[in-house]
Structure 1
Amino acid sequence: MNQNRLVTVALTALAPVSWGSTYFVTTQFLPADRPLFTGMMRALPAGLALVALTRRLPRGDWWWKAAVLGALNIGAFFPLLFLSAYRLPGGMAAVIGSVGPLWVAGLAALFLGEKPTLRTLLTGIAAALGVSLVVLKAAGAFDAIGVIAALGSSASMSAGTVFTKRWGRPEGVGPLVLTGWQLTAGGLLIAPVAFFVEGAPPALDGRNIAGYVYLALVNTAVAYWLWFRGIGRMTATSVTFLGPLSPLTAAVIGWAALGQALAPVQVLGMAIAFGATLAGQVTPKKPAKSAQSFSSTEDNQLELSMDVTSRPVRR
């Protein structure tokens, strides 16, 4: 793995690492039983802020493409994710979500021509097995709605990853702009459903507000910018194999912040899942550069703008 690819993988990996804090923040900081409102608050403020920052709107067929990607990556994914977080123990939701690499392998074969190899399938199974061992003690009781929501969120995000790779980006548009479009589209899709199903927004205290600010800025705006940036530079399968870092991070947070002990079998599972993540980055050949890639000059300008205006505050 050359240095440039190593940097790309490391930066992209920061996204699922950040997402590993979602269950902790949801259960410790946010109002209970508000998955739709939480999804809206995570997406819409961040999306509007990025659109205002970049001052670029879609053109032509990118209006509907941005809406579709926003629905898959945000509009459907967030509510289903938070519904599973509220109804299932974090461990069980993580196990179900860990099948993401297998979802992507199948979809990438259909829409991207990335034929899955035996190594890819075995690595995906190993990743799911490793995550299962990590969260084994947290499996908890079966909840049909929660399980369906977890499966749906994984499938939605996987499809969004594949179509983001398939469509690329319009000429001259960077990942920061694309992130703003998708977050705004997804948030606007969630908003009316949230108010219709859950009613008026709940009263928020300082702890709730802090949780939503963290989710919107660090966990969403920055993390999704890094994720979509990685999709543009890596294969869809390689990107999704970074997904197991999310439940591994959640397990570490549970150990460090909540005093949850890690048994030897869980440590073994972490090693297996992390090994699968690394194995998923080994590709036989470098993917062809997309004809829709934007210029490196604009990429650097957008990244500098992101660093200056949206750098997360260290807590």
Structure 2
Amino acid sequence: MLSKTARVLLLTAVAPVTWGTTYLVTTELLPPGRPLLAGVLRALPAGLLLLALVRVLPRGSWWWRATVLGTLNIGAFFALLFVAAYRLPGGVAAIAGALQPLLVAALATVALRERLRLRTVLAGIAGVVGVALVVLTAQARLDALGVAAALAGAGSMALGIVLAKRWTPPASPLATTAWQLIAGGLVLTPVALLVEGPPPALDAPAVGGYVYLALVGTALAYVLWFRGIAALPAASASFLSLLSPVVAVLAGWAVLGQALTPAQLLGVAVVLGAVLAATRATLRSTTNAQPPVAAPLRGGSRPASVCR
């Protein structure tokens, strides 16, 4: 029987797994050249839906904290990802994103006083190598601005993860996720209108794609993601994000018939090994102790005394 910690890890892993399907949905269903529109239509509807379910608004300092977290995890992250995607091959951008667990581990030692273990550093390096084997092609070219945007995007979400862990949530994961998605969507909306212009007419496949991304790839995924961050060490949770590029490549193979090279298969094995190495310590450390229990997935707020 799985421990509570193992169940939290598996549920948290659902988030990057669903994010790994984003590329397939985007290329096959959505209008081309509209990544910022996709970000807005993912974040805002999902956030408003969750807010309608919980009916809990931020209080006190959580008005600005939710704005900061929403900007780091959603608004700025999506915008920087857009710049990186347009100026870099997808493989190079994915490798830069794979640095996120190492950035989280470094930040967590300062902000959360989590111990930086050699195992974590080695697993982080292995994760970067594994993602490179999975996604990098011989035709990849570097662009200074694109690399800077990709690294800044990884740094933005890494800082967002650490702050989300440091700041004690005043409400359930449903509520705090709703606040972040709405804040991030509002930050991203003017950028999308300025860069991409008004939304185009959408056909049925595009509507279905946006609905999937909003409900599954955003509402469900981010609730599970932030729930896991609250319950797990920040460094361990961040390693699960390495599953996203692996799922993207496997989805292309399974659905689109794209071939997998021996190097990609080796990369998949290396990434999975890195994730297991980084999370196994968390499982071991809670075997003889009370495992972290995530907040329940329901509305309502905690007592005001927990607000910081």
Question: Which SS does the other structure have where 1:242 is aligned?
Answer: helix
Post-superposition Cα deviations, 1:139-184, rounded to whole Å, max 9, x if no partner, equal 63334443333222211111110000000211xx110111100000
Count of aligned pairs: 296
Q: Give the C-alpha shift of residue 96 in structure 1.
A: 1.6
Q: Give the C-alpha shift of residue 269 in structure 1.
A: 1.1
- CA distance, structure 1, for counterparts of residue 219 and residue 239 of structure 2: 21
CA contact (8 A) 1:90 1:138 kept: no
> Which stretch of the first structure deviates more once superposed, 79-88 or 224-233?
79-88
1:127 matched to which residue of 2?
127
1:199 matched to which residue of 2?
197
CA contact (8 A) 2:72 2:156 kept: yes
Q: Give the C-alpha shift of residue 263 in structure 1.
A: 1.4
1:45 matched to which residue of 2?
45
In structure 1, stretches of 5+ residues that fail to align are 304-315
CA contact (8 A) 1:40 1:187 kept: yes
Question: Which SS does the other structure have where 1:248 is aligned?
Answer: helix
CA contact (8 A) 1:38 1:82 kept: no
Q: TM-score, normalised by structure 2?
A: 0.89
- CA distance, structure 2, for counterparts of residue 300 and residue 216 of structure 1: 18
- CA distance, structure 2, for counterparts of residue 146 and residue 73 of structure 1: 19
> Root-mean-square deviation (CA), in Å?
2.3
Question: Which SS does the other structure have where 1:200 is aligned?
Answer: coil
Q: TM-score, normalised by structure 1?
A: 0.87
* Percent of matched pairs sharing the same residue: 55
1:313 matched to which residue of 2?
none
2:172 matched to which residue of 1?
174
2:184 matched to which residue of 1?
186
Alignment of structure 1 residues 105-184 onto 2, 5 Å: 105-137=105-137, 140-170=140-170, 173-184=171-182
CA contact (8 A) 2:253 2:260 kept: yes
Post-superposition Cα deviations, 1:102-150, rounded to whole Å, max 9, x if no partner, equal 1101111121111311111111001111111111337633344433332
Alignment of structure 1 residues 1-315 onto 2, 5 Å: 3-137=3-137, 140-170=140-170, 173-281=171-279, 282-283=281-282, 285-286=285-286, 299=296, 301-302=298-299
Greater relative contact order (Cα 8 A, min sep 6): structure 1 or 2?
2
- CA distance, structure 2, for counterparts of residue 255 and residue 109 of structure 1: 38
- CA distance, structure 2, for counterparts of residue 114 and residue 142 of structure 1: 34
Q: Summarize the Cα distance change of 1:79–1:192 in structure 2 as closer, same or farther, 3 Å threshold.
A: same
- CA distance, structure 1, for counterparts of residue 215 and residue 83 of structure 2: 21
Question: Which SS does the other structure have where 2:240 is aligned?
Answer: coil
Q: Give the C-alpha shift of residue 300 in structure 1.
A: 5.2
> Which stretch of the first structure deviates more once superposed, 106-115 or 156-165?
106-115
> Which stretch of the first structure deviates more once superposed, 275-284 or 55-64?
275-284
Q: Summarize the Cα distance change of 1:216–1:186 in structure 2 as closer, same or farther, 3 Å threshold.
A: same
Q: Summarize the Cα distance change of 1:11–1:113 in structure 2 as closer, same or farther, 3 Å threshold.
A: same
- CA distance, structure 1, for counterparts of residue 98 and residue 134 of structure 2: 12
Q: Give the C-alpha shift of residue 265 in structure 1.
A: 1.7
- CA distance, structure 1, for counterparts of residue 128 and residue 195 of structure 2: 33
